[in-house]
Amino acid sequence: MPILTSLHIDQSYHNHLLEEELYYDFIFLKCKATENYTFLNTDQHAIYNTIFILLDKIRSSCHIALVIAFLGIASLLLKGGIIAHSRFKIPFDLHKDSICNVLHSSDLAILLQQTSLILWDKALMSNHYAFKYVDRTLKDLIKALNSILEHKPFGKKVIIFREDFCQILSIVSKGRRKDIVGSLIKLTINMRLQQSLNPITLSETQEFADWLLEIGKNHVEQHINKSNYIKLPDDIYILLEHLHDLINFVYPDLNTNANNFYYIIDYIILVPKNTNVSLINST
């Protein structure tokens, strides 16, 4: 739970929403961020540096960083997380002209006005009207403080949408394909490829990204005898006879490094079912 300090008592008196977001144990957050950072591998460092350290940095500087999620279970897994519909008062019966449902004099309005960053987890499972609703809400609330910001996207609040744009679909009750596709936000630029990668890595990443898009469009070669199977490119699969061969391929020198924490976290075998997990663990 957040720890009460005297830092913002005057500012957030009687506003329990501000208290919840401001009264973190700042010293603990700094120590925790430093401790966890040492256990990350290279790829995890990149994500941690750009998102989670940012959250701790903002909160430890006495600013507000909201963490929201589309799903209740996802919000529980995030520090300070809450369901998006609850935080923004998003109506369940959404349409393109849904109006702001947050009073300017409310505690929630003050909280949103003073927010520096919003991390929206599982964002793409939300209907695109939800983003437009939040955009209108933040613009409406921020114009009371600065009329110029009323014309900026989301009132110039920093919004991080966390999810894979090609793998997660929004939820439409009893909706058909056209209803689901129509509810999605459109990403016109693959932002993951805009990083400063070396030319070889960038080319390989682009090829793999293009292949994933072809799968989504159902344009890839299918298995001769099974229409719901696709043919993988030769450079991304290996042909092995036994499960032991797979484990030895993923974890070379496992017996030597079985107690090496950093060795273990750098490799992983992903499987679709729990029965497969049990089989691998027992091998």
Cβ neighbors of 51 (< 8 A, separation 6 or more) are 119, 160, 162
48 exposure class (CB count in 10 Å sphere: 0-12, 13-18, 19+): middle
Q: What is the pLDDT of residue 48?
A: 66
Nearest in space to 159 (alpha carbons), one of 250, 23, 68, 221: 68
Q: What is the DSSP letter of 17?
A: H
Distance CA 183, CA 94 (A): 11
Q: What is the pLDDT of residue 3?
A: 46
Strand ranges in 127-245 using DSSP code E only, listed in sequence order = 158-162
Distance CA 125, CA 69 (A): 9
Distance CA 15, CA 107 (A): 6
Chain CA centroid to CA 97, Å: 27
Could you read off the pLDDT tens digit of each residue along the chain, which spans 283 residues? 444 444 444 444 566 676 666 666 667 766 766 676 666 666 666 766 677 777 777 777 778 888 888 776 655 666 677 787 778 888 878 888 887 788 888 888 888 888 888 888 887 788 888 888 889 989 988 888 888 888 888 888 888 887 766 666 777 778 788 888 778 777 666 555 555 567 777 777 778 878 887 877 777 776 666 667 777 878 778 888 888 888 888 888 888 888 888 888 888 888 888 888 888 888 7
- Give the count of beta carbons closer than 10 Å to the beta carbon of residue 125: 19
DSSP symbols for 164-180: -TTT-----TT--HHHH
Long-range contacts of 145-153 (CB under 8 A, 24+ apart): 145/113
Q: What is the pLDDT of residue 197?
A: 60
Nearest in space to 116 (alpha carbons), one of 187, 55, 206, 202: 55
Residue type, 35: E
Distance CA 195, CA 182 (A): 29
